[in-house]
Structure 1
Amino acid sequence: MSNSDRVDSQKAPEPVGLYPHARRVGNLLFLSGVGPRERGSKKIPGVELDAQGNIVSYDIETQTHSVFRNVRYILEEAGSSWDRLVDVTVYLTDMKKDFPTYNRLWAEYFKDVPTPPCRTTLGITALPTPIAIELKCLATIGD
């Protein structure tokens, strides 16, 4: 790999715009925003949409598991891993309702990581696709 490489996962959902899943710069891996969509389909785990594509209902727990799985896919395909995450920015569309569930799942996923990543959680009004959560991550890679 060169000093600045594009990473395109074969398992994570396709980006919704002109950007890579991640970029490696030196020993750092910068991930683009990662949501819960599934690769190769318009299916969003834990989301029920109406005929116009508006969210009718959603399950933040299902979406969070899916987002974490997609982040893992990108990390592993780039040569990094879950325990090498350094910083995570979390975007939630309903902070009041979803933060307690998200926070509980975070604790479960990182309970065996000696030094969990730093985290910032933001409540926002909307995301580019009909999802309730997105993660922006920074990890280390290599030695």
Structure 2
Amino acid sequence: MSEAFNVDQAPKPVGLYPHARQVGNLLFLSGVGPRQAGSATIPGVELDANGEVIRYDIEAQCHSVFQNVRTILASAGANWLDLVDVTVFLTNIKDDFATYNRIYAQYFADNMPCRTTVEVNKLPTPIAIELKCIAALSTQTATETK
């Protein structure tokens, strides 16, 4: 048995999927990007008339995507320290990894989940970073959210 979550305070999914799904004491987050809730605005992104990226600020996108993850976790009764696995997709690992890695270290200083970082050619919206996360809920939290 599983329960799906959609969160009004997080950016709307760009397809037919929930923000998160709880199965037992595990919470699986769908890919989370840096878009702002309630809009198509992507922090630090400048687009041309055709919607192609002219410039982006990976630091602004990192902060935004981490905040979006926090928002989704909170809606499910979880928190940042519950994260046990994070997969990070970057569109330009060569230029962005050092900045992303520095900011990641600030956010995860007290929690070191397993992490995989890969470069992808493109993401479904004009973003430079996306996170796929798994959290382990305490037995009490898992029971309360059902």
Same fold (TM over 0.5): yes
Does 1:34 find its partner at 2:32?
yes
Deviation at 1:50, TM superposition (A): 0.7
Aligned to 1:126: 122
Aligned runs of 1:1-143 on 2, under 5 Å? 3-113=1-111, 116-143=112-139
Q: Kindly provide the CA deviation profile for residues 80-110 of structure 1, in whole angstroms up to 9, marking residues without a partner as x.
A: 1101100000000000000000100111111
Q: Is residue 28–residue 140 contact of structure 1 (8 Å, CA) maintained in 2?
A: yes
8 A Cα contact 1:29 1:138, kept in partner: yes
Q: Percent identity?
A: 64
Contact 1:24–1:30 under 8 Å retained in 2? yes
Cα displacement (A) at 1:67 = 0.2
- What is the SS of the residue equivalent to 1:106? helix
Unmatched segments (≥5 aa) in structure 1: none
After TM superposition, the score normalised by the length of structure 2 is 0.93
Q: Following the alignment from structure 2 to structure 1, what is the Cα–Cα distance between the partners of residues 73 and 60? A: 20
RMSD in angstroms over aligned alpha carbons?
Answer: 0.8
Cα-to-partner distance string for 1:2-26 (whole Å, 9 max, x where unaligned) = x410011121100000000000000
Aligned residues: 139
Aligned equivalents of 1:7 and 1:142: distance in 2?
18
Tell me by how many angstroms 1:122 deviates. Answer: 0.2
Q: Measure, in 2, the Cα distance between the counterparts of 1:55 and 1:139.
A: 32
Q: Which runs of 4+ in 1 moved over 2 A?
A: none
Could you give the per-residue CA deviations for residues 12-54 of structure 1, whole angstroms, max 9, x where no partner exists?
1000000000000000000000000011111000111111110
The 3-state SS of whatever aligns with 1:90 is strand
